[in-house]
Amino acid sequence: MLKDMMPHVELFQPADMDNALALMGRFGSDGWALAGGHDSLAWFKDRGKRPSALIDLAGISELLGIRETSDGIEIGAMTTLTEIELHPMIRERFGLLADAARCVASPQIRNSGTIGGNVCQDTRCWYYRLGVGCYRAGGNTCYADTPEAMNREHCLFGADRCVAVTPSDTAPALIALDATMVIRNGQGEREVEAEDFFMSPGVDITRMTVLNPDDLLTTIRIPNIWAGAHFYFEKVADRNTWDFALVSVAAAMKVSGNRIQDARIACGGVECVPKRLVGVERLLKGSLLTEETADAAGAAAIRGAKPLNYNHFKIPLMENLVKRAVRSA
């Protein structure tokens, strides 16, 4: 429970990737990679997590910056959300990500918070964060999915013992942009599609992403496929600053005249992973931009939703956000 004091931890500050990966391999699950630190320090302060080694990534230049490539851009995992929000190339070609980054927390947090940390942060379910023995913490109960539970911020889809949602604002935008996550460890490098980077509780309930204890997310690659498309991002939260999304939508659409040629849409705040709306995308592809199309997209988006005690409001909210995304084109 709340202690408001960090336990003892050994701090390492590697200056390059080789040393960082060696430390991750050495400590494994007892090590903790530190990015911006906003989520990490809350865990340590409340003694919810007790790593023996803290591996600070701030000094690794390879993890910083935004670079143009032959087929898109690369973003270092330690690049701050403010830099992503303001970068001219991202604003011009991939404005969806800039809009999503601008919606994260507050300006002060965005100045030091990183995109890698944002997509890798743990769920904010208060039962889990306060140290109760839920499924995600290794127990045998989901305390957010009981008749007495307070669960207005929890999921509508994909519940499998756990009903918590991913808190990342940038994750739906990366999925809509068809991004790829580059992961490294001491054995080499692999690439994972952004859509597959997030871990369903039905696969492994103890992890939010596919990262193993010795893995580091190093780079995010965004291809030019959706560069210059029509973008729409909207996040609904209790407060405009700091709060996590109740529901968010990220949409990329290629439009010619009054017809949608192609679309990718993802929602946040409705599932344990960012939810890609494949059925909505199929419906939109080749459709005319009409009010009837927007209505059909909204109805398709919420098909199969299973609300909990206190989050029924998320269903019309999600439906209307998808409608607005389509209308915006």
Q: What pLDDT, on a 0 to 100 scale, did the predictor assign at position 41?
A: 85
Residue 232 lies in a domain: yes
Residue 142: inside a domain: no
- Indicate if 70 and 198 belong to the same structural domain: yes
| Threshold 0.85, pTM exceeds | yes
**Up-side HSE of residue 222: CA atoms within 13 Å toward CB?**
26
Q: Does a structural domain hold residue 155?
A: no
Q: Is residue 175 within 8 Å of 97, Cβ to Cβ?
A: no
Amino acid type, 268: G
Scanning the chain, the segments in alpha helix (DSSP H) are 17-27, 38-45, 81-86, 88-93, 95-102, 107-112, 115-120, 126-129, 170-176, 194-197, 278-284, 291-301, 314-327
Same domain, 71 and 218: yes
Residues 188 and 103 in one domain: yes
- Give the residue from 225, 244, 266 where a domain finishes: 225
Q: Which domain holds residue 113?
A: 65-120+168-225
Cite the DSSP H helix spans in 251-313.
Answer: 278-284, 291-301
Q: Determine the pLDDT at residue 220.
A: 98
pLDDT of residue 253: 98
The answer to whether residue 221 sits within a structural domain is yes
Query: Domain boundary residue among 225, 241, 260?
Result: 225
Indicate whether 140 belongs to any domain. no
Whether 220 and 77 map to the same domain: the answer is yes
- CATH number where 265 lies: 3.30.390.50
Question: How much is the pLDDT for 49?
Answer: 86
Report the CATH number that the domain containing residue 105 is assigned in CATH: 3.30.465.10
For residues 119 and 174, is the Cβ–Cβ distance under 8 A? yes
Q: How far apart are CA 152 and CA 207, in angstroms?
A: 22
Cβ neighbours, 10 Å, residue 106: 12
Q: Quick one: tokens of 254?
A: 């290629």
Q: What local confidence, expressed as pLDDT, does residue 1 receive?
A: 47
| Predicted pLDDT of residue 3 | 61
Is residue 215 located within the same domain as residue 257? no
Claim to verify: residue 76 and residue 211 sit in the same structural domain? yes
The confidence score (pLDDT) of residue 68 equals: 98
Task: Give how many domains the chain has, as a whole number.
Answer: 3
Token duo for residue 151: 């669960």
Residues in the chain: 329
* Residues 262 and 285 sit within 8 Å (Cβ to Cβ): yes
The model's pLDDT over 135-162, given as tens digits with 9 standing for 90+, comes to 999 999 999 999 999 999 999 999 999 9
Please work out, in degrees rounded to the nearest 5, the angle formed at the alpha carbon of residue 173 by the alpha carbons of 317 and 215. Answer: 125
Residues 212 and 242 both lie in one domain: no
- What parts of the chain have a pLDDT lower than 50? 1
Please give the structure tokens belonging to residue 247: 């529901």
Cα four-point dihedral sign 294, 297, 299, 301: negative
Assign residue 40 the CATH number of its domain: 3.30.43.10
Last residue of a domain, one of 184, 203, 225: 225
Residue 4: per-residue pLDDT: 66
Does 189 share its domain with 293?
no
Same domain for 211 and 94, yes or no, is yes
Which residue is it, tokens 């918070």?
113
Do residues 13 and 116 both lie within one domain? no
SS3 74: strand
Residues 309 and 235 in one domain: yes
Residues 68, 25 contacting (CB under 8 angstroms):
no
Place of tokens 């780079």: 219
What is the model's pLDDT at position 241?
85
Structural domain contains residue 147: no
27 with 111, same domain: the answer is: no
